[in-house]
C-alpha cells in the first residue's frame, strides 16, 4: 500500500517535474483520504499511514515548487457507501 499510494505519487511527480519546470507552470493533484487526516478504525494502519504521507508529500512539494509556478494540492474524498462500509 505504501509503495502504490505514497511512493507512486512521489515518483510520478518527480518524473513530471522537468516538463513542468520548463513550462513555467503546472498542477499536481494527489489523492488523499480522511483516513490519512484522522486515522481511525475504519481503515487499515498501512492505508492511513500512506495517505498521511501523501499529505506531507503534497505540502512539501507545494512549498518547493511554488517558485516555479507549479501548484500542488490534494483532494480527500469522504467515505462512499459500499458493502464494505455498511458492514
Residue 12 in contact with residue 61, Cβ under 8 Å?
no
**Number of domains into which the chain is organized:** 1
In a domain? residue 54? yes
Provide the pLDDT for residue 34.
Answer: 84
Averaged in consecutive runs of 10 residues, what is the pLDDT profile of the chain (87 residues)?
95 97 96 84 85 96 97 89 77
Provide the pLDDT for residue 87.
Answer: 66
Provide the pLDDT for residue 27.
Answer: 98
How many of the other CB atoms lie within 10 Å of CB of 25?
Answer: 10
- The CATH code of the domain that includes 30 is 3.40.50.720
Provide the pLDDT for residue 85.
Answer: 74
Provide the pLDDT for residue 40.
Answer: 67
In a domain? residue 28? yes
Q: List active site positions.
A: 47
Provide the pLDDT for residue 73.
Answer: 98
Residue 55 in contact with residue 37, Cβ under 8 Å?
yes
Question: In the 8-state DSSP scheme, what is residue 79?
Answer: P
Amino acid at each position: 500500500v505504501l509503495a502504490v499510494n505514497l511512493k507512486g505519487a512521489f515518483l510520478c511527480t518527480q518524473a513530471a517535474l522537468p516538463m513542468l519546470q520548463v513550462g513555467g507552470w503546472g498542477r499536481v493533484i494527489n489523492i488523499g483520504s480522511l483516513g490519512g487526516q484522522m486515522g481511525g478504525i475504519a481503515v487499515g494502519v498501512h492505508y492511513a499511514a500512506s495517505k498521511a504521507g501523501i499529505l506531507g508529500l503534497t505540502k512539501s512539494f507545494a512549498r518547493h515548487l511554488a517558485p516555479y509556478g507549479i501548484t500542488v494540492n490534494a483532494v480527500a474524498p469522504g467515505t462512499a457507501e459500499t458493502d464494505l462500509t455498511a458492514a
